[in-house]
Structure 1
Amino acid sequence: MARLGKLKTADNLLLRGIQVPLNCSLCSGMLENHSQFFFNCDFSLYILKTILPDFNYFLLRPTLPQTLDFIENSGKFNNAEKDFCFLALSCIIYHIWRERNNRRFSDLRNNVVKLICNISSALRLKTFKWKNRNSLLQRFTIM
Structure 2
Amino acid sequence: MAIMGGLKTADSLAARGISMNDTCALCHSYAETVSHLFFEFDFSFSILSNLMKNLGFLLLRPNILKIFEYIEDMKHKDKNFYFLIICCVVYRIWRERNERKFGEAYVSSTTLAQKIKTAVLSKILNMEKGRRSD
Q: Structure 1 stretches (4+) deviating beyond 4 angstroms?
A: none
**Structure 1 gap ranges (5+):** 132-143
Select 1:109's aligned residue among 106, 120, 126. Answer: 106
1:70-120: CA deviation from partner (whole Å, max 9, x where unpaired): 001112x22xx1110000000000000000001001122111121111101
Aligned residue runs from structure 1 range 37-52, under 5 A: 37-52=37-52
**Structure 2 gap ranges (5+):** 129-134
Alignment partners' CA distance in 2, 1:90 and 1:98: 12
Select 1:94's aligned residue among 75, 78, 91. Answer: 91
Q: What residue identity is the alignment partner of 1:110?
A: V
Alignment partners' CA distance in 1, 2:32 and 2:126: 38
Q: Give the match for residue 33 of structure 1.
A: 33
Deviation at residue 17 of structure 1 after TM alignment: 2.5
Q: Secondary structure at the residue paired with 1:101?
A: helix
For these two proteins, the number of residue pairs brought into alignment is 128
Q: Secondary structure at the residue paired with 2:46?
A: helix
Alignment partners' CA distance in 1, 2:120 and 2:68: 18
Alignment partners' CA distance in 2, 1:101 and 1:90: 17
Alignment partners' CA distance in 1, 2:102 and 2:57: 35
Please identify, of 10-19 and 60-69, the stretch whose mean Cα deviation from structure 2 is larger: 10-19
Higher helix share: 2
* Residue 82 (str. 1) matches residue 79 (str. 2): yes
RMSD value, Cα: 1.3
* Residue 71 (str. 1) matches residue 71 (str. 2): yes
Q: What residue identity is the alignment partner of 1:32?
A: E
Q: Secondary structure at the residue paired with 1:127?
A: helix
Q: Give the match for residue 136 of structure 1.
A: none
